[in-house]
Each structure stands twice: as C-alpha cells, then as structure tokens.
Amino acid sequence: MKVLFPFLALFVGFGAMTLIEVSASEDEKKEVVDTRPTITVETAQAEDYQVVISNYGEVQPLERTMISAQVSGEVISWHPNFVAGGLVLRGSTLFSLEKDAYEAALLQAEANVSLAQAQLIEEQARADVAKQEAKGLASSKVSDLYLRKPQLLSAQANLKSAQAGLKIAQRDLDNCEVIAPYDALVVSRSIGVGQFIGLGTTIGEIYNVEAAEIIFPIAGFDREFLPDDLAEKQAKVTTNGYNPIERTGLISRDLGVVDQATRMSQLVVRVNDPYSLKSNMPALKFGNYVQVSFPGRTLDHIYRLPQALVNNKTVWVMDKDNKLQPKKVEILREEGAFLLISKGISDNDNIVTTLPEYPQTGMEVKIAGVKAANELTAQKAK
C-alpha cells in the first residue's frame, strides 16, 4: 500500500493539471468569439447617368370628324364596317346616295357647255366678218358694237358659266358617295338604307387612326432635366395591366403653356398607326391611360442608390476600420425606387445595404460571408 501511494498521488496530480489546461483552453476560445453585428455592403461607383423622364397621359385620336351629307338624297348602301367600332381605310366609300337626279343634272350641264361653246364659235365668226368689213369703212364709223365685241364677251361669259355649272354638277354627283378621308375608327352612324337625308345632315363620327396623340404633363422639378432639343425625340409608350403593351412614339410638340391649376407644362407624343392596320404590333386603343417615358439630360459623376439605403438624406458607410459612419448626401433627383446622389459619398465607399437593428456611429461591424477568424487576424495585424 505504501508502494502504491506515490503512484496514486502522481496520477491524481496529472489529472488535475490536465483539467486545468482544458479549462484554460475553453476560456481562450470564449475570448475570441466575434460578437460584432453582421452587415452587407456595396462599393459605391460614380457613373454618367442619363435621366429618364416619365409621366402619364391618355391616348387620343389625332383628329375627330363629324361626317355630314353634302347633297340630299336617299341612302342606297353603306360600308359593312361603317358601324360603331368598325375600321375603314382611307378612300373607302362609307355610304352612297341615289344618283339618278345628279347624273341627269350632269348631262344637262354638259349640254349647256356644248351649247355655250357653239354660241361662242358662232359669235367669234361674226366678229371676224365684221372686222373684215370694217377695213373698207372710215374709222369713225367702226365702233365696238359694230365689231361685235360685247356679243363676243357675252358668249365667252356664257361658256364660263356653263363650265362652272358642269363642275358643280360633277361635284354633286361625286358627293353621292361619301369617302373616308383617312384610316378611321367609326364611333357612330345614324343612317340606314332607304332613309332620305338632307344637305348638311350629320351622318356619323369617325376618329383618325393613322396617328394618335398623348398629352402628358411635365412637372416643375423635371423641367431642368429636359434635353435641349425635344423635337422628334423618341419616347416609349406603355400600358398598365397584366399584359402591358409597349409602343414607340415621337415627341411632336410642346403645347407652349403652363397649366394654371397644376403649374405643369405639357408635351405631346405622336404614335403612328395606333390600331396596327399596317403592322402586326398590338393595338394602342384610344382612351388607354399610358405611361410615357423618354431620355432626358445626361448627368456626370452621379451615384444611383436604392431609396431604402437613404434615410433623412443620410447614408451609412463602413470605414477602413470596419466601423459604421453616417454620411450626409445631396439628392439630385428621385427616379422610381432609386435616388440620384451628387455629393456626400465617394468612389469605393462601402455603402451599408443591411444595417444592424440599432446602428451607431463608430459601431464595429463585420461583413457577412467573411470568416470571423480572418477578420480578427486582420485586426491584430493592424
């Protein structure tokens, strides 16, 4: 027993020493646990950015026409598409009137012209004879009446009158067929076959579909970002909804006035062939409420940040010591979910995109995805 006691004491001492070393090791591990908040960052980089100006407006026809009868008569036919919602092409006959009376009037006018021509020829011959006879007479006895000048002028006037009557008769006959003045959408029609209509009777209404116009406002804060030359600048026209339609138009003009109620100026965008009669593009119907957007001025050295990163004109950045620092910025313009910033941050600044719950100036942080051990090593190296 006395022999075993030294060995037993040695074993107990070795165990106690091992336990102390393990405890010390665990304490060291606890000391290196990184408790800094985790953030994410993006590197700031300035760019030359072209502003996009956008607003909303309603699609309207380039022109609206009330169709009226220019002659009276009985309706004998109308175009199958001359109904509300129908589309007719330029030059199509919208409806026709009975022509018999106007054809007869044309024949009468032609006869009147022929008669006037014959009378003029006859009178011209008489004037020529009188002129020859006057050569043997004293000049004092030769008057304009003797030379038949008044009769000749009268015959010429009768011919012109007959020719004018012929033009009127031809016009009235042509007006028995009412022609579409442009590619058109029929809005209304108020006649039927067999109906008698009088001169000037309103027949219906059509809209020009060769081009559409969109009048949209320009807010005061957008004016300074307008390009120098707006004429014929291309604009994108987009409808809202599940299946949005996108078409391209050209800025046609500035209306030249500022609205007294809204203090906004107004621009007009023109879209050709909105109903796609000559293309396979989706139709842009009148009455649609659309967004119009077009490129404005190009801004130099601009930072474009999501609005969520800017609070009270302040952006949080991480400095070279991995500490949070707030920076006041100058916001030049808001575009959708983004802000255009001109001053306050610099290239290669680490913009904090995910903040701790309660950020404070000088708070030490770590970047998500970077191993804590590597960060601690880097800090010790500093």
> What is the Cα–Cα distance from 272 to 275, expressed in whole angstroms?
9
Same domain, 215 and 292: yes
Q: Is residue 131 part of a domain?
A: yes
Residue 115 tokens read as: 């008669």
d(CA 97, CA 74) in angstroms, rounded, equals: 5
Token look-up 């060291």 returns: 28
Does 181 share its domain with 251? no
237 within 8 A of 257, measured Cβ to Cβ: no
Q: CA 77 to CA 96: how far, in whole Å?
A: 5
pLDDT, tens digit only, all 382 positions of the chain = 455 555 555 555 555 566 556 555 555 555 567 788 888 999 999 999 999 999 999 999 999 999 999 999 999 999 999 999 999 999 999 999 999 999 999 999 999 999 999 999 998 888 887 777 667 666 666 676 766 788 888 999 999 999 999 999 999 999 999 999 999 999 999 999 999 999 999 999 999 999 999 999 998 889 989 988 888 899 999 998 888 999 999 999 999 898 888 889 999 999 999 999 999 999 999 999 999 999 999 999 999 999 999 999 999 999 999 999 999 999 999 988 999 999 999 999 999 999 888 889 999 988 887 654 455 445 545 5
Domain count, the chain: 4
CATH number, domain of 79, equals: 2.40.50.100
Amino acid at residue number 262: T
180 DSSP assignment: P
Q: Helix and strand tally (H, E) in the chain?
A: 5, 21
Residue type, 246: E
Same domain, 169 and 180: no
The verdict on residue 18 lying in a domain is: no
Q: Strand locations in 259-288, DSSP E? A: 265-272
CB-CB neighbours of 74 under 10 Å: 14
Q: In CATH, what number is assigned to the domain containing residue 264? A: 2.40.30.170
- Tell whether 181 and 204 lie within a shared domain: yes
- CB-CB contact of 345 with 329 (8 Å): yes
Contact 185, 209 (CB under 8 A): yes
Please identify, among 175, 200, 234, the residue that sits at the C-terminal boundary of a domain.
Answer: 175
Q: Are residues 74 and 204 in the same domain?
A: yes
The span from the first CA to the last CA of the chain, in angstroms, equals 60
Phi, psi of 120 (to 5 degrees): -65, -40
What is 56-108 written as a DSSP string?
Answer: EEEEEES-EEEEE-SS-EEEEEE-TT-STT-EE-TT-EEEEE--HHHHHHHHH
C-beta of residue 325 within 8 angstroms of C-beta of residue 317: yes
Domain that holds residue 280: 53-61+210-298
In this structure, the answer to whether residues 369 and 243 fall within a common structural domain is no
Same domain for 70 and 136? no
Residue length, the chain?
A: 382
Residues 261 and 216 grouped into a single domain: yes
Q: Which helix (H) or strand (E) holds 289?
A: strand 289-306
Quick one: 313 and 261 in the same domain?
A: no
Asked whether residue 6 is assigned to any structural domain, the reply reads no
User: 120-138 pLDDT, tens per residue?
Assistant: 999 888 888 777 766 766 6
Which amino acid, residue 163?
Answer: Q
Q: Which of 259, 274, 324, 358 is nearest to 58 (CA)?
A: 274
Percent share of the chain, pLDDT over 70:
85
Q: Are residues 155 and 273 in the same domain?
A: no
- Does residue 194 share a domain with residue 72? yes
Phi, psi of 309, rounded to the nearest 5 degrees: -85, -10
